[in-house]
Amino acid sequence: MTVRSPLLPEPAEIVEKRSYGPSIHAYRLRLLAADARPRFDFVPGQFNMVYVPGVGEVAISISSDPEEEMLEHTIRIVGRTTRVIDGLGPGDVLGLRGPYGTGWPLQEARWKDVVVVTGGLGCAPVTGAIDYMFRRRANYGRLTIVHGVKKPSDLIHRERFEYWRRQEDARVLLTTDEPDRAWRDRSGVVTELFDEIEFDPSRTVLLMCGPEIMMHYAIQNLRGRGLASDRIFLSIERNMKCAVGLCGHCQLGPEFVCKDGPIFRLTRVERLLFTRGL
Amino acid sequence: MTGAKPAPAQFLARADLQRLLEALRARGYRVMGPVPRDGAVVFDEVRSVDELPRGLREAQEPGRYRLEPNGRDTVFDVVNGPGSLKPYVFAPREKLLQVEPEGRSFRAQELHPDAPKLAVIGVRACDLAALSVQDRIFLEGRYPDSYYAARRRQLFLVAVNCTRSASTCFCVSMATGPEATQGFDLALTEQEWGFLVRAGSALGREVQQALPLTPAPEAALARERTSLETCAATMQRKLETADLPEVLYRNLEHPRWHDVGSRCLSCGNCTMVCPTCFCHDEKDEPLLGEPDEAGVRSVRVREWDSCFNREHAQVYGLNYRPKIEDRYRQWLVHKLASWIDQFGTSGCVGCGRCITWCPVGIDLTEEMRALREPGA
Ligand SMILES: Cc1cc2nc3c(=O)[nH]c(=O)nc-3n(C[C@H](O)[C@H](O)[C@H](O)COP(=O)(O)OP(=O)(O)OC[C@H]3O[C@@H](n4cnc5c(N)ncnc54)[C@H](O)[C@@H]3O)c2cc1C
Ligand code: SF4
Ligand code: SF4
Ligand code: FES
């Protein structure tokens, strides 16, 4: 029995880099090995470990459509490894291994209304899922997207929200804590918008991603209005080093966020999620 | 290494123990065994039985470990020290990949560990149980670990049944000891004039055949039963397991966490000596030597980590376990509760190492008792 290391990265060339402000870039990547793409067949919500040779590895959601050949990663520049990624562009090669983790319940949500609640900058894991549903518009009912940011400049992808807003049977609610003159949407924290969301609990699925405190309030509000816990899905973030359930860093109680998550059905994590310091 | 039922016991005279070391070496094994080093008995290479801790036993208490004479002619009376089998399979530092630039691309190659055939003598029942816990983690999941696998298949294990326990042991509560019942190649029970020997694998039987064994006398077998039963019956420490994992999940907000958090130094000793803890960090390091024209080569390594390290649950801009009490709770809840959900087995085998090697003597069995009391 020879076991191959599960940690070997696959080289992928950056074909295109698009920037959303100074510190967020979307990289479109082509795997160099001709036979590698099928191994990266993924569901929106899953992630890859993106490797910078000699520097380090970071967990990044796949933001492209599963049926496109190229893989896209939208990366926010924050620390040691992502700062090196910041300096890379077309022609440079990164390593990828994956895809890992669970995806959004895009099959289960078919023919249902979908409410998406996101907050802060960390909504990369869900934008791919929203695009996925709009590209297969007939498969989904009413789509409601609620997104809150601290300050207007945190709203990346504004044109994407505007595009979604123009689609049929779709509603987009944007809010910021600190509106400026140019801001035309709502102001206040995202939780204040929950009362405005109209939904029929019997045929709605809720997808959420963002700060845990925001998800906590969203759950309280929407569950209070009849939405069942097993219709609520959330994306959880924890430190990740290995992504294969071995390094122990991503634990949340019994869950390894890297393999049991990052997308969880609320019923599974309910009693752990909002315990401080877990 | 597992599966086969232990064969009937045979007897090896004390004077012939060296033959076991030689039989193993003849089969290409590097032989490790318990040896006194700097006041504690640890596993290290043994060439002669004279290096074993003759006539010694140890006294263990929370935060204390001391070797002392036992007044008898024994070599295996020191039950367990800070070292376990863990470093032999899950290396404290493992080079995983070698990465070199190739134009604008790179080439990553798996580094296969240089894993020599290794025989370890003096392994305790709790150590075997811990190894089987680690096997589940590293070999039986969705992504088997090639590095662990390479080291694991080179192991030959000579267990020694415990006829005395340390005050910190609670293997009976965890149903892992004091007798080694599976997972060994050979198992020994030490008695006055020698050792009862049983084989637990085909390889073990092969080595057994190279030894000058005689059938075990009935009296020796009877005395063995008595000594193992006495060891189990007199074990001082206990841990109630019937209500695990639930009792911990119900008490995640118990005031005792704050109390123990104020005593714990967050040093991570308990996780380093624990034979089942598997947390590790992964990082890139430049490979020493001159860079070739393509650029600097590097290695990706992994190293033992601990949930007591401040950065363990740190992400950009946020630490999910900022307080020591959060980290102690992670440790205990993982060991005794969530481990069961994750791997179908407890993460604690009752070896007591974390109690002995805690510099402030925190005792998980004591903490569990307090957590069962209604909080103030
Ligand atoms: C499932 C998942 C999906 C993610 N998807 C995206 C995405 O699509 N786009 C994006 O910009 N970011 C995403 N992140 C966050 C991203 O992984 C971190 O921003 C990144 O690891 C920071 O690395 P760094 O070396 O630059 O930062 P440093 O602060 O220097 O971090 C050092 C190391 O700590 C770990 N670490 C730090 N922060 C995080 C974190 N938030 N999550 C996991 N590990 C962390 C990493 O191992 C990192 O290399 C995702 C995280 C997870 C868990
Ligand atoms: S989380 Fe803590 S207790 Fe669990 S394996 Fe890692 S170091 Fe050990
Ligand atoms: S938690 Fe303590 S007693 Fe249990 S296996 Fe680990 S070191 Fe031994
Ligand atoms: S990231 Fe290593 S166990 Fe999940």
Q: Structure tokens of B61?
A: 């208490």
Instruction: Answer yes or no: do A128 and A87 share one domain.
Output: no
Q: How many domains are there within chain A?
A: 2
Instruction: Answer yes or no: do A92 and A134 share one domain.
Output: no
Reported as a single tens digit per residue, the pLDDT across A163-222 is 999 998 999 999 999 999 988 898 888 888 888 888 999 999 999 999 888 899 899 999
Cβ distance of B99 and A239 shorter than 8 Å: no
Cβ distance of B141 and A246 shorter than 8 Å: yes
Which residues on chain B are in Cβ contact (under 8 Å) with A93?
Answer: 104-106
Instruction: Answer yes or no: do A125 and A232 share one domain.
Output: yes
B280 in reach of chain A (CB within 8 A): yes
Instruction: Answer yes or no: do A55 and A168 share one domain.
Output: no
Q: Which residue carries 């074990």 as its tokens?
A: B235
Residue A90 belongs to some domain of the structure: yes
Q: Are A235 and A262 in contact (CB under 8 A)?
A: yes
pLDDT for A20 equals 87
Instruction: Answer yes or no: do A79 and A216 share one domain.
Output: no
Q: Is the predicted pLDDT of residue B305 greater than 90, yes or no?
A: yes
Q: Structure tokens of B30?
A: 């590097």
Residue A233 belongs to some domain of the structure: yes
Of A55, A244, A245, the CB nearest to B284: A55
Structural domain boundaries, residue A58: 10-100
Nearest alpha carbon to residue A190 among A200, A179, A175:
A175
Q: Is B201 in the pocket of ligand 3 (CB under 6 A)?
A: no
| Burial annotation A197-221 (CB, 10 A radius, 16+ → b, else e) | bebeeeebbbbbbbbbebbebbbeb
When pLDDT is averaged across residues A21-25 and rounded to a whole number, the result is 90
Q: Which residue carries 């998800």 as its tokens?
A: A215
Which three-class secondary structure state does DSSP give residue B204? helix
B193 in reach of chain A (CB within 8 A): no
Query: Can you tell me the distance from the alpha carbon of B82 to that of B118, in angstroms, rounded to the nearest whole number?
Result: 19
B338 in reach of chain A (CB within 8 A): yes
Instruction: Answer yes or no: do A67 and A128 share one domain.
Output: no
**Of the candidates A74, A100, A126, which is a domain's last residue?**
A100
Query: Can you tell me the distance from the alpha carbon of B235 to that of B362, in angstroms, rounded to the nearest whole number?
Result: 19
Residue A14 belongs to some domain of the structure: yes
**In the predicted model, what is the mean pLDDT of chain B?**
95
Instruction: Answer yes or no: do A34 and A168 share one domain.
Output: no
Q: Are A272 and A252 in contact (CB under 8 A)?
A: yes
**Of the candidates A100, A126, A157, which is a domain's last residue?**
A100
Query: Can you tell me the distance from the alpha carbon of B49 to that of B72, in angstroms, rounded to the nearest whole number?
Result: 16
Find the largest Cα–Cα distance for chain B: 74
Residue A1 belongs to some domain of the structure: no
Query: Can you tell me the distance from the alpha carbon of B38 to that of B308, in angstroms, rounded to the nearest whole number?
Result: 26
What residue spans define the domains of chain B? Answer: 10-91+112-233, 246-289+308-371
Which residues on chain A are in Cβ contact (under 8 Å) with B283?
Answer: 56
Give B3's pLDDT tier (boundaries 50, 70, 90): very low
- Residue B145 CB neighbour total at 10 angstroms: 27
Residue A2 belongs to some domain of the structure: no
Count of pairs with CB atoms under 8 A, one residue in A, one in B: 134
- Rg of chain B in Å (alpha carbons): 22
Chain-centre distance for alpha carbon B165: 16
Residue A4 belongs to some domain of the structure: no
Number of H helices, E strands in chain A: 5, 15
Instruction: Answer yes or no: do A77 and A124 share one domain.
Output: no
Nearest chain B Cα distance for residue A29, angstroms:
13
How much distance in Å is there from the Cα of A61 to the middle of ligand 4?
Answer: 15
Query: Can you tell me the distance from the alpha carbon of B165 to that of B293, in angstroms, rounded to the nearest whole number?
Result: 60
When pLDDT is averaged across residues A75-99 and rounded to a whole number, the result is 96
Reported as a single tens digit per residue, the pLDDT across A126-157 is 889 999 999 999 999 999 999 998 888 888 88
Cβ distance of A93 and B143 shorter than 8 Å: no
Which residues on chain A are in Cβ contact (under 8 Å) with B281?
Answer: 241, 247, 249
Residue A17 belongs to some domain of the structure: yes
Reported as a single tens digit per residue, the pLDDT across B177-227 is 999 999 999 999 999 999 999 999 999 999 999 999 999 999 999 999 999
ipTM score of the complex? 0.93
Q: Is the predicted pLDDT of residue B4 greater than 60, yes or no?
A: no
Instruction: Answer yes or no: do A230 and A263 share one domain.
Output: yes
How much distance in Å is there from the Cα of A60 to the middle of ligand 1?
Answer: 7
- CA–CA distances in Å: residue A67 to residues A9, A26, A50, A71, A135: 22, 18, 20, 10, 11
Could you tell me whether strands A204-209 and A232-235 are parallel, antiparallel, or unpaired per DSSP bridges?
A: parallel
Q: Are A29 and A12 in contact (CB under 8 A)?
A: yes
Which residues on chain A are in Cβ contact (under 8 Å) with B106?
Answer: 11, 53, 93, 95
Q: Are A79 and A1 in contact (CB under 8 A)?
A: no
Residue B31 sits at the vertex; the CA angle it makes with B203 and B71, to the nearest 5 degrees, is 110
H helical segments located in chain A: 80-86, 124-135, 158-165, 212-224, 266-273
Residue A38 belongs to some domain of the structure: yes
pLDDT for B1 equals 44
Nearest chain A Cα distance for residue B213, angstroms:
34
Instruction: Answer yes or no: do A147 and A188 share one domain.
Output: yes
DSSP for residue B376: -
Instruction: Answer yes or no: do A131 and A155 share one domain.
Output: yes
Nearest alpha carbon to residue B57 among B46, B65, B48:
B65
CATH number at residue A246: 3.40.50.80
Instruction: Answer yes or no: do A146 and A248 share one domain.
Output: yes
